[in-house]
């Protein structure tokens, strides 16, 4: 990641919101940085759209690991899974809603559909819906990088 691009992002976010107080880098994510402003706003900054998409998919993987297929709308899930699996969708949702039982929702049977589910989620709602927990907005900076407010 070019230090100049990172510094430009820092300056641009400072001008748009408030001065950046802290910047955190993560060894596992060389193309992403967390910024915190003096007002306590937190932003995930990514070097480009491909990195944003990668981060969004990882976030959705974590969501699936936490609560399973029921993290998505039932009709949306039914539009993606094969007809021979569709009979398992309703019982998975009912088990969660009625008994707080996530076993069917987290079943490995959903794994073949996750990539398509993630791609279709991004296509339908955008990356901001997944990464920007505060407002769902994608902030495209002047250099082509992106920022997402996360709090």
Q: Full-prediction pTM beyond 0.85? A: yes
Own/partner contacts of 133-138, CB < 8 Å, gap of 24 or more, are: 134/41, 138/52
CB-CB contact of 38 with 132 (8 Å): no
pLDDT at 101: 96
- What is the residue extent of each domain of the chain? 3-149
Q: How far apart are CA 39 and CA 23, in angstroms?
A: 14
* pLDDT digit string, tens, across residues 52-69: 999 999 999 999 999 999
pLDDT at 30: 84
Nearest to 78 by CA among 28, 117, 106, 109: 117
Q: How far apart are CA 114 and CA 109, in angstroms?
A: 10
- The phi, psi pair for 59, rounded to 5°, reads -65, -40
CB-CB contact of 10 with 34 (8 Å): no
pLDDT at 3: 82
Which regions in the chain score pLDDT beneath 50? none
């Amino acid at each position: 990641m070019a230090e100049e691009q990172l510094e430009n992002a820092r300056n641009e976010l400072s001008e748009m919101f408030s001065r950046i107080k802290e910047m955190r880098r993560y060894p596992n994510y060389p193309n992403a940085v967390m910024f915190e402003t003096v007002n306590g706003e937190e932003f995930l900054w990514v070097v480009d759209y491909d990195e944003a998409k990668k981060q969004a998919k990882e976030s959705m993987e974590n969501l699936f690991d936490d609560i399973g297929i029921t993290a998505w709308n039932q009709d949306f899930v039914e539009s993606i899974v094969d007809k021979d699996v569709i009979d398992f969708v309703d019982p998975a949702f009912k088990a969660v809603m009625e008994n707080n039982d996530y076993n069917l929702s987290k079943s490995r049977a959903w794994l073949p559909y996750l990539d398509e589910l993630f791609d279709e989620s991004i296509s339908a709602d955008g990356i901001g819906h997944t990464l920007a927990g505060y407002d769902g907005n994608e902030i495209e900076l002047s250099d082509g990088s992106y920022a997402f407010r996360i709090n």
